[in-house]
Chain A
């Protein structure tokens, strides 16, 4: 007799669950995640779908995702994919093609910048991701110091050139030297020299700025070129001569804090940090930092894309979320909160341009940004880069030897991937 009410209540629960889907995703602990979280209640109100984020540091995301991706049904319904996992996820076949969803709902992907679609959108002819936010790297500098007239006079005196927002790499090097005053605890530059990801990302900009590159179209390595060697020597000199103590171990958190507390003239970093500089709760230099493209021949592009894993438990509901979060309205509001946009229409929006006057600059950044080598073994290559660069910086490896090792590894991994 007792079983009947039990069965009925079980049916109830099942029924309720069938409607109340909860989407789960791993998200990075960066401002853009926070902006979405603010808007989530609207998504739930509109669709009845709950969304739960597991927010964590960058390094923990990949290991968390992988077990879920290799299972037939994983724990995560959608995921942000960092550009350098794209090759690996593609080779392993972990991402679900989105073409059918896109066609069904007539989602317009032409609004995305081509460079971003190439990075975290299309692979070959299939669309696997929708670009989420970009983190092209640029140079943040203390505009107030550049505007100071006594600085201008002294600089022109010493170097024979005007003190202004740097457009050439040598110009920037001079400024770094000029502004460094270690006795006063002020540094021309703060680097994120921490092993693997931070140093690899940052140094890529130095390489590109000097006109160097990682490989040619046939995947022959170009890291043993003179440009690369100069770029590495620059970096070593920056960290050791013009940077604060301990930069060899800094991640982007530590480096940002040094600049945000007003102890550094410049910090080469992800563009979204500009908004953090202007947040009085985190920064002591509100309004003083300006973001410019990396002086010289361009900086590193970076982006995340939205993807639905093949192992997603609720692929349909996940697509609903992707549609919503990348809809023009929501994309605009994320940008208004301070998010880094990926859509041309957002970039061109007049309201946003009024709110953020660095948008034109950001467009430039995206236009000139170059890509990191993208293939299956990108993460591994980043590891090797990180180790060798770190060794060069602390003086345990000759820069030329370090570059040779990186180059050989790049070519070996490319061969393994069938690229050459």
Chain B
């Protein structure tokens, strides 16, 4: 990946009346990255994307693209393509006209237009649909047309605003793969907004997690998964849940006892702390001890959720009452109310400060 910083946001801020939607964020996006803005509804990710596109006025701060400050430019002059969640196709034009609209406005020659339409429709496999109107297309087809519309402009970056959220699950998976492939083929920068962490994890080269207008963490999928920098990120990047529990700490000579789990950890960061958040992902629990260093935990089973490929089991920790989830493969005979031992590696414990909620 080319590490040239291509798009920069400097102290970018968007305030509506009294509410701050995007709180002076700074970030750098590299050329040819598949950069994902991830966060819950209302976190400011779409607003940020729209400010990059020019659809939203910037309250303060700058957007720099390819070393040029584009903050005051009209959308059409920024040479970026935008794919909308609801496709935003022109309902009264057929597919061909939808795709070529921007070219028509730029007064591109007829042959040039034909060439481009041909290329795009082949690429996205919509060549059979060129004469249809949007109302005659399925959701997936409309999405492709929307993509086609952006492709044809040969932009420097593609901005996609939750483009897959209106599709059904199966189609979503297909389109995910297509988009990944597309980005690789085009070798262009993609900035992608979503609230779905699966999409983010599977597609992104880097994920930027946002909440309440602030950036919480930027990192590769592996990084944010294995080393979340805050409780929020740990909770958010989870499929479907993560365990975030609290525990008292009893200090001993060179180690610290996490009361809840009844295990000893030698980590330095625990000095001077009495209460701490900890997290162990559900998939990091096992029903059998795999090696001698695994710790064990006694739990009473509350619920068993059958997810088809595995089971998600909710349980309470003995003597503690905090709920803990763990995943097991489908071949087991657990019943509700049973008390069992589950096993985990202490290395998989992530710790977070009880006040700041940041990773320690």
Q: Is A–B contact present in the complex under a CB 8 A cutoff?
A: no
